[in-house]
Amino acid sequence: MRRALGMGGRLGSGIAARLPFGRVEGLLLAVALIWGVSYSVVKVAVAEVSVAQLLLLRFGLTFLLLLPALGVLVRQWRAAAAGGALLLGVNLLAIFACESWGVAQTSAANAAFLVSLCVAFTPLCEWWLLGERPGRHVLLAALVSVLGALLLAFAHGDGLRLPGIGDALMVLAACLRALMVCLTRRHGDRHGWPALTMTAVQMGVMAAGSATLMAGQFGTDWPALPVSRPFWAALAFLVLLCTLFAFFAQNYAASRTSASRVALLTGSEPLWGALVAVLWLGEPLSAQGWLGGALIVAAAWWVSRPGARRG
């Protein structure tokens, strides 16, 4: 019986090794799907509250849910690790600030697609910060993914136009996302904090930063909380899936695979956003747009295949 179980275990391991997607890749694609849906969900929420109030509610509630995860710090407190975690939280706050103000000054479609340019920046950032020169296949997949994002970005009938401040902010957010992936990987390698604890610290920094934004916008006269069910349903989705699950999954995956693969797999986010917009909101998408989405999916598959890191 034990021998049979051992043979079954080896057979299962062999099959798993040949599968193009493992647990880490599956988590990252789930994050991309959830974040793709989030663009439509955020539209429901910001119709009732300001961006600063939404961020405070989203990250403040997430931080409260994650408070038990901070107990690890009592046993594993290290000043260098805490400083690194705070730096990651500040970088995350900068990402959301750029994205929030960027979306306000450009189209939601352009915002989603421009952020996906982080797949092009991450291999260079990984090379610079981690000293890991990406393989040729990773650089090629990044270029294909960027091409797909560009095709999607100009597939909405808006025509050619000069980029504005909103577009520039989204490109900056893409750069910061690439930096975030690499810094998370380096922090995990050096300090080994649990992913849930890392997420809790980041959410605490985000909540404090959002409260500062609220104070700057409203002073001491903060607006009342909305009472509608659609808003609280949207907030529950943003807190439980887009924030609690997604950031935990990204922190978990970032320390278990290359930064380039993290960026490329989560870079399929614009495709999911386009699918949700077409199927739920009824927005049209041209053949050019579908081609761009197909290129992003192809790049994500290519970089996640077995042996891809050695290419």
Q: What is the chain's Cα-based Rg?
A: 20
**pLDDT tens digits, 255-300:** 677 766 676 667 677 777 777 777 776 766 677 777 877 787 777 7
Q: Which residues contact 180 (CB under 8 A, 6 or more apart)?
A: 88, 91, 92, 95
Residue 132 has pLDDT above 60, yes or no: yes
55-69, 110-124, 185-199: lowest mean pLDDT where? 185-199
pLDDT for position 235: 93
Q: What six digits make up the tokens of 26? A: 């599956």
Alpha-helical runs (H) found in the chain? 2-18, 23-46, 51-65, 72-76, 79-104, 108-115, 118-130, 136-153, 165-191, 195-218, 229-237, 246-254, 259-266, 269-276, 287-304
Average pLDDT, the chain: 75
**pLDDT tens digits, 15-59:** 333 334 567 777 888 888 888 888 778 777 887 888 889 889 999
DSSP label of 250? H
Residue 200 confidence class, pLDDT cut points 50, 70, 90: confident
Which amino acid belongs to residue 232?
A: W
User: Cα separation of 111 and 252, whole Å?
Assistant: 26
**Model's pTM, two decimal places?**
0.71
User: Cα separation of 118 and 102, whole Å?
Assistant: 15
**pLDDT tens digits, 104-127:** 677 666 677 777 777 777 777 777
Residue 64 confidence class, pLDDT cut points 50, 70, 90: very high
User: Cα separation of 199 and 292, whole Å?
Assistant: 32
Q: Which residues contact 20 (CB under 8 A, 6 or more apart)?
A: 301, 304, 305, 306
**pLDDT tens digits, 158-174:** 444 545 787 788 888 88
Which one has a higher pLDDT value, 176 or 309? 176
